[in-house]
C-alpha cells in the first residue's frame, strides 16, 4: 500500500508510475476525498474544543450557583454536530482506504517502460538440448511412461488438476526436497511449513486481496482462502510486528501446495502441466533493510537460478516492464526454462522486490537498538522454484530416443539412486 502522505506530496510522480504500469486509478478523486476528510477533521477538532470549553463553563456556572441552561443547550447543539460529523469522516476514511488498497505499487526507476513486449532479457544459461530426434511433449512422455495421469486427475477434481503416479510422484517429491535442502543448506534460508489456508488479513497484507479475489479459492462460510503461494503465509508471519534491526535480514523458505483458479486464463494452455489449478512450489521470502533491498533481490534471483543450473535446465532471465508487473511488485525478474518438446520458454520462477508496499499493508516495521521505530521493512520473494514447468523441462529435455527419461544427477540421491525413468512392466 502506498503512503497517502506520499501520494499527497508526489501526485505527479504517482500518476506517472501508474501510467507506466498501465493502471487506471483516479488519483485526483482520491486526493479530493483526502482533502475533504482533513477539512472535516479540522472542523471536528474545533467543535470538540468548543464542547470542552462549554463543559468547563457549565461547571464554573454551577459552582458559582448561576443558571447554566443556555450553556447546556449550546453544548448539546455542539454535541449533535459532532455526532453527525463523525460517521461522515469515518465513511470518507473507509472510501479512502478502499481506494488505497486497490492502488498498485509504483515501478522502480530501473524497470523498462511498456507492456510484455518491452520485457528485457538480462541473462541466459545453457542451450537447447541436442537430442538427435523429434522430441515429444511432456504429455506424451508422461502417458507413455505412465507417470502422470491427466484423465484421472480431471476425474478426481476437474480440469487442470493432476495425478502423479509412481516415478512421477517420486520425481515431484525429489524436486521439492532437493530445493529445500539447497536453500537451507547453501543459501541460508530458514525452513517453515505453514498452513495452506490463509485469512483475509493475510491475503490483503501481501496484495492478493482485493485485486485478485476472482483467482482465489475461498472456503465457503469461513474467512479462509487456499493459498496461491507460500508467499502469503510466510510474509504474514510477521504481520503487525516490529522487528529488531539487528535481526535483519530474515530469510524464510517453505514448500506448499498452491491453488489458483486462473479465472482470467480459461482456454489458455489447458493441456498438460503448463497451467494447473493445484501445484507444488518452494518459495523464498526475505525481510530486509530498505537500503539493502535491491542487492537482496539480486541474490534471491541467483538462488533461484542455482536450482536450474544444478538440474541442468536451460533458462533465461527477463526483467519485466512496468505494464507486466504484478500488483504489489516494484521490480520483478522472471526466470523462464526451455522445454524441448513444446519448443517454448516457460516461466518457472518470478522474483520480486515489493519495497515497503506489502510491509505497509501488513504493518511490518522495524526498530533500532534505541527501541524507536525506523520505518517499514522491505519484503522480497521469489519462486525457488515452481514445480510444474520445472517438471516439464526435465521430462522434455532429458528424454531419450528409447522413450525413457534420464534423471538429473542432482536428483538421484532423492530418487534412491535411480538414473532413468522407464515404464513399469
Residue 401's CATH number: 3.30.930.10
Of 339, 310, 279, 340, nearest in space to 413 by CA: 310
How does strand 364-367 pair with strand 241-244? parallel
Backbone region of residue 408 per phi and psi (left: phi > 0; alpha: psi in -120 to 50; beta: other values): beta
- 278 and 397 part of one domain: yes
Sign of the Cα torsion 272, 275, 278, 282 reads positive
The whole-number pLDDT of residue 63 equals 92
201 falls within a domain: yes
**261 has catalytic annotation:** no
Query: Which cell numbers in the block locate residue 363?
Result: 504493518
- 218 and 263 part of one domain: yes
- 268 and 310 part of one domain: yes
Domain of 45 in residue numbering reads as 4-101
**275 has catalytic annotation:** yes
Q: What are phi and psi of 358, to 5 degrees?
A: -70, -40
In this prediction, residues 149-175 reach a mean pLDDT of 96
**316 has catalytic annotation:** no
- 75 and 214 part of one domain: no
pLDDT tens digits, one per residue of 39-85: 999 999 999 999 999 999 999 999 999 998 999 999 999 999 999 99
Around 87, how many Cα atoms within 13 Å sit in the side-chain half-sphere? 4
37, 170, 305, 389: which one is catalytic? 389
The whole-number pLDDT of residue 271 equals 81
107 falls within a domain: no
Q: Is the pLDDT of residue 268 over 90?
A: no
Composition of the chain by helix, strand, coil, percent to 5 = 45, 20, 35
108 falls within a domain: no
347, 404, 412, 420: which one is catalytic? 347
The whole-number pLDDT of residue 270 equals 65
CATH number at residue 73: 1.10.287.40
In this prediction, residues 198-209 reach a mean pLDDT of 96
How does DSSP classify residue 398?
S
- 51 and 127 part of one domain: no
350, 352, 365, 383: which one is catalytic? 350
- 195 and 149 part of one domain: yes
- 329 and 193 part of one domain: yes
217 falls within a domain: yes
- 231 and 95 part of one domain: no
286 falls within a domain: yes
- 88 and 123 part of one domain: no
332 falls within a domain: yes
This prediction's pTM: 0.92
The whole-number pLDDT of residue 264 equals 53
pLDDT tens digits, one per residue of 215-233: 999 999 999 999 999 999 9
Gap between the Cα atoms of 345 and 324, Å rounded: 17
Q: Is the pLDDT of residue 280 over 90?
A: yes
Confidence of residue 267 (pLDDT cuts 50, 70, 90): low
275, 305, 360, 361: which one is catalytic? 275
The answer to whether 217 touches 161, Cβ cutoff 8 Å, is: no
Please state which of the ranges 133-147, 258-272, 344-358 shows the lowest mean pLDDT.
258-272
The answer to whether 241 touches 364, Cβ cutoff 8 Å, is: yes
260, 261, 305, 360: which one is catalytic? 260
- 154 and 289 part of one domain: yes
pLDDT tens digits, one per residue of 377-409: 999 999 999 999 999 999 999 999 999 999 999
Picking from 67, 101, 135, the residue at the C-terminal end of a domain is 101
Number of domains in the chain: 2
User: What percentage of the chain reaches a pLDDT higher than 90?
Assistant: 95
Please state which of the ranges 29-38, 255-264, 294-303, 350-359 shows the lowest mean pLDDT.
255-264
**389 has catalytic annotation:** yes
User: What percentage of the chain reaches a pLDDT higher than 70?
Assistant: 98
Confidence of residue 262 (pLDDT cuts 50, 70, 90): confident
Q: Is the pLDDT of residue 265 over 90?
A: no
**347 has catalytic annotation:** yes
Gap between the Cα atoms of 289 and 245, Å rounded: 8
111 falls within a domain: no
When the pLDDT of each residue in the chain is averaged and rounded to a whole number, the result is 95
The whole-number pLDDT of residue 281 equals 98
- 87 and 131 part of one domain: no
Amino acid at each position: 500500500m502506498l503512503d497517502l502522505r506520499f501520494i499527497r506530496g508526489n501526485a505527479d510522480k504517482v500518476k506517472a508510475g501508474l501510467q507506466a504500469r498501465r493502471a487506471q486509478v483516479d488519483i485526483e478523486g482520491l486526493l479530493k476525498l483526502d482533502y475533504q476528510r482533513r477539512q472535516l477533521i479540522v472542523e471536528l477538532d474545533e467543535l470538540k474544543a468548543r464542547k470542552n470549553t462549554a463543559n468547563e463553563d457549565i461547571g464554573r456556572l454551577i459552582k458559582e450557583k448561576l443558571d447554566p441552561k443556555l450553556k447546556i443547550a449550546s453544548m448539546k447543539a455542539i454535541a449533535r454536530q459532532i455526532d453527525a460529523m463523525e460517521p461522515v469522516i469515518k465513511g470518507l476514511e473507509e472510501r479512502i482506504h478502499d481506494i488505497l488498497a486497490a492502488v498498485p505499487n509504483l515501478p522502480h526507476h530501473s524497470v523498462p517502460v511498456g507492456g510484455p513486449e518491452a520485457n528485457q532479457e538480462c541473462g541466459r544459461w545453457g542451450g537447447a538440448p541436442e537430442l538427435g530426434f523429434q522430441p515429444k511433449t511432456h504429455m506424451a512422455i508422461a502417458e507413455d511412461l505412465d507417470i502422470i495421469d491427466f484423465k484421472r486427475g480431471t476425474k478426481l477434481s476437474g480440469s487442470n488438476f493432476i495425478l502423479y503416479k509412481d516415478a512421477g510422484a517420486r520425481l515431484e517429491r525429489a524436486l521439492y526436497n532437493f530445493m529445500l535442502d539447497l536453500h537451507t543448506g547453501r543459501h541460508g534460508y530458514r525452513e517453515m511449513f505453514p498452513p495452506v489456508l490463509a485469512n483475509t488479513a493475510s491475503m490483503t497484507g501481501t496484495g492478493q486481496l482485493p485485486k485478485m479475489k476472482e483467482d482465489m479459492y475461498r472456503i465457503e462460510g469461513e474467512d479462509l482462502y487456499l493459498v496461491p503461494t507460500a508467499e502469503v503465509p510466510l510474509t504474514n508471519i510477521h504481520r503487525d510486528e516490529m522487528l529488531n534491526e539487528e535481526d535483519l535480514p530474515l530469510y524464510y523458505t517453505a514448500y506448499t501446495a498452491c491453488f489458483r483458479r486462473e479465472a482470467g486464463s480459461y482456454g489458455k494452455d489447458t493441456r498438460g502441466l503448463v497451467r494447473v489449478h493445484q501445484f507444488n512450489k518452494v518459495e523464498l521470502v526475505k525481510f530486509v533493510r530498505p537500503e539493502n533491498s535491491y542487492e537482496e533481490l539480486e541474490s534471491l534471483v541467483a538462488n533461484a537460478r542455482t536450482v536450474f543450473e544444478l538440474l541442468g535446465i536451460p533458462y533465461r532471465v527477463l526483467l519485466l516492464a512496468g505494464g507486466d508487473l504484478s500488483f504489489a511488485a516494484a521490480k520483478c525478474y522472471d526466470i523462464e526454462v526451455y522445454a524441448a518438446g513444446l519448443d517454448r520458454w516457460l516461466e518457472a520462477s518470478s522474483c520480486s522486490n515489493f519495497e515497503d508496499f506489502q510491509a505497509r499493508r501488513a504493518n511490518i516495521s522495524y526498530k533500532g537498538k534505541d527501541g524507536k521505530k525506523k520505518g517499514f521493512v522491505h519484503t522480497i520473494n521469489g519462486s525457488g522454484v515452481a514445480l510444474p514447468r520445472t517438471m516439464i523441462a526435465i521430462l522434455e529435455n532429458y528424454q531419450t530416443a528409447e522413450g525413457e527419461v534420464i534423471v538429473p544427477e542432482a536428483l538421484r540421491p532423492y530418487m534412491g539412486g535411480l538414473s532413468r525413468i522407464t515404464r513399469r512392466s
